[in-house]
Every structure is written in C-alpha cells, then in structure tokens.
Amino acid sequence: MGGGTILVRRVNEGDISISTYVRLLTPELKQIHVADNTIRLGAGVTMATIAKTPALAFLAPVARSIGGPGVRSAATVGGNLFARSPHGDFGVALLVLDAVVCIEGPEGCNEVDLETFFKSRRQLARGSIVTAVRFRRPMPEDFRFVKISRVKPNGAAVLSIAALLSRTQGHVSAARIALGAMANTPVRAHNLEAALRETTLTPRDIERAVVSAAADTTPRLMRSPANGTGRQCFPFISAGCSRPEFLHLPRAA
C-alpha cells in the first residue's frame, strides 16, 4: 500500500475481504529520475509532489485534477494505475505517453507497456508490486489533458482525455489519444487518433472524428445519469476535444 486512498476507502465502506495492510516505505519508490528525455517516477511518488516538480510541469494539470489537497498528498503513481473507473486520471496521461510499467515479483523484475498492463493488471503474479513507470518527455506543445466532471473542481471524471498531437504546417501529423471513464480502465482511442490525422482540428473535423470513437469505448453505467451507451458518450468526447486546453488555444478573457 502507498497512500491508501483506494484501499482504505474500500475498508471504510465495509469491504471485509481486506484484513491486513502492508505499507511500503522504501525510499526508492518515492524517487523521480530525469535523464535527458527519459523520466522515471517511483510508484510511491505522490500527486502533490508531481504538481510542484518543475521538470514535470507538463503533468502538473493532471496531478492537480485529482481530488483535493489531502488526496493529492497521499495518492500515488502506482495506486492510480489500479484505480477503478471513473478514477485513475493520471493513468490516462501515462497511457498517452506510452509509459512502461516496472514490476518486481517472485520471478524478478519485469517491464510491460501500460496498455498491456491495463488489460492484465488483475492477473499479476502473487507477491508482485509495481515499483515505477518510465516514459519519454514529450514536447510541451504536443501534450494536452482535459478532464470533465460533474462535481467541481476535482470530482470523479465523466471523461478524461489525454493526447499527444504533433502538427506540421497546421495539420495533425501524428496523434496518440487516451480516454478515461470510457471503459473499465483507461484505453487508447485508436480510431479517434486515425480520424484526427491530417486534419486542422476545426469543429467540423472534431465532430466527424468523434463518431469513430464509439469503437474505442465501452462506457460504464453510473449511479448518476451519465454515459450509458457509445452514442451517449459522443457529447463528452466532443466537448473534451473542443476545449481550449485540448486545442492549445488561449482561453477567452
């Protein structure tokens, strides 16, 4: 256990399947390494630490979108990878950054790409722990993150979307997009990526591309009115892709 924001909540809500806590205090799990263009975050690094680390300034908006100050001071990188939808916004950002997850277990150290990890995280070998994530630093102008929630400012996401969009002469030359709260785990939006390539991100471009995103999502049913089918998720994805922070446009005064 790192910060316990997920596990302790389950216990407080009456989950009797948990009888023992194991708290990890290994200093290495809280270290941040930045070498050239490669960043390595220990699994115990908190959202609060990320939000105030200059070398991780591009991730600060993601970290600040997670809970209030108390939650951010406890919530960790490793814990966020196991958060159930609609939580786990930091994992959405890591997925779009093509992060690699470092795992230590009975058979030694292993590394797996995050997309594969999300598909198989319930099958981790007994005794395994996530120790770190590693990824390449993006160009600041290419990375963007948007979170839409009903409870302001930092409630659970109705949609979180992270993107790496490279432009050449005004057109999208490369696109990598991840969605949160649109499936049981964060997912890559491969169809949306393909539909946005070679566009100029006009409202019409986005409207056409978002239709393709239905194949990338399996929206969950929520206790409150929300996205219950693929078609109902279109407005959320369209709204996210139209935000100034996604398009990298200045906000209106």
Q: Domain holding 159: CATH number?
A: 3.30.390.50
Environment class of 120 (CB within 10 Å of its CB; exposed 0-12, middle 13-18, buried 19+): exposed
Q: Are residues 221 and 190 in the same domain?
A: yes
CA 229 to chain CA centroid, Å, is: 22
Indicate whether 88 belongs to any domain: no
Grade residue 105 by pLDDT with cuts at 50, 70 and 90.
Answer: confident
Identify the domain containing residue 168 by its residue range.
Answer: 143-247
Q: Are 93 and 162 in contact (CB under 8 A)?
A: yes
Higher pLDDT, 112 or 125: 112
Indicate whether 228 belongs to any domain: yes
Q: Are residues 118 and 163 in the same domain?
A: no
Q: Read off the pTM.
A: 0.82
pLDDT digit string, tens, across residues 227-253: 444 445 556 677 777 777 776 644 433
How many domains are contained in the chain? 2
Residue 74: give its domain's CATH number: 3.30.465.10
pLDDT digit string, tens, across residues 25-42: 788 999 999 998 999 999
- Go through the chain and tell me how many residues it has: 253
Q: Are residues 131 and 209 in the same domain?
A: no
Q: Are 227 and 221 in contact (CB under 8 A)?
A: no
Indicate whether 35 belongs to any domain: yes
